[in-house]
Amino acid sequence: MSVLEPVQKKPAGRKATISRDDIMNAALRLVGPNRSISSLSLREITREAGIAPNSFYRHFDSTEDLAISIINLAGSTLRTLIGQARVKAKEVDKGIVRNSVEIFIEQLYVDAHYLPTLLREGIVGTDRYKQAVRQQLAYFEQELTEDIISIGEKANGVPIYPELIAQAITRLVFAMGTDALDMPREKHAQLIDQMVVMIKMLFAGAHLLKKQQPSK
């Protein structure tokens, strides 16, 4: 399944041929804010995909192998979306922090369930699932560090410890995203406002700390 490709609706009857994308689509249709991918059985997945178990094993070694593939896809898709949000924010002169946070929270509502998958598996998944999620968070942190440095060089200077700021922002956003899963949607606007303020406080604190460092 390519990045940003929408999850397809359930096919009618059994398909003559089946692809990895078809099976991943089937699994994603079964998960959501209240259903972990780790809880899916082979029977559920193959029934949803309209295939026999043997067809599943032509593409994946196990349901765990499938879950890891979905986690990796979810992470890469979300990084692409948030990266696009940062670019768009620059083009329309909108706050990069707010635009990125809004796009992040919006992913709770899309049919693909990419964000809920990452949030849930990071808490209730197997050790291997949790490790896969941690790896995706590390990718987020790496890309965000690069953006912080790039934007800082063009604006008011690179804040101190950009890699720690990226780590703090990533962990903050994902932790609050997990909270958002369990709260009414009408409260998400307030949550977004809080996240934006917290992220700006991290940047403000980093710039202040940099000013307090003794000159070399």
Token pair of 100, please? 């990125």
Its pTM surpasses 0.85: no
Q: Which residues of the chain have pLDDT under 70?
A: 1-16, 32-33, 89-94, 215-216
3-state secondary structure of 80: helix
Q: Give strand pairing partners of 35.
A: 32
Q: How far apart are CA 126 and CA 115, in angstroms?
A: 17
pLDDT of residue 85: 79
Element (DSSP H or E) covering residue 203: helix 188-212
Candidates 19, 30, 8; CA nearest to 117 is 30
Q: What residues contact 165, with CB distance under 8 A and at least 6 apart?
A: 145, 148, 159, 202, 203, 206
Candidates 164, 168, 54, 70; CA nearest to 118 is 70
Query: Per residue in 57-114, pLDDT tens?
Result: 999 999 999 999 999 999 999 999 888 877 776 665 568 899 889 999 998 888 778 8
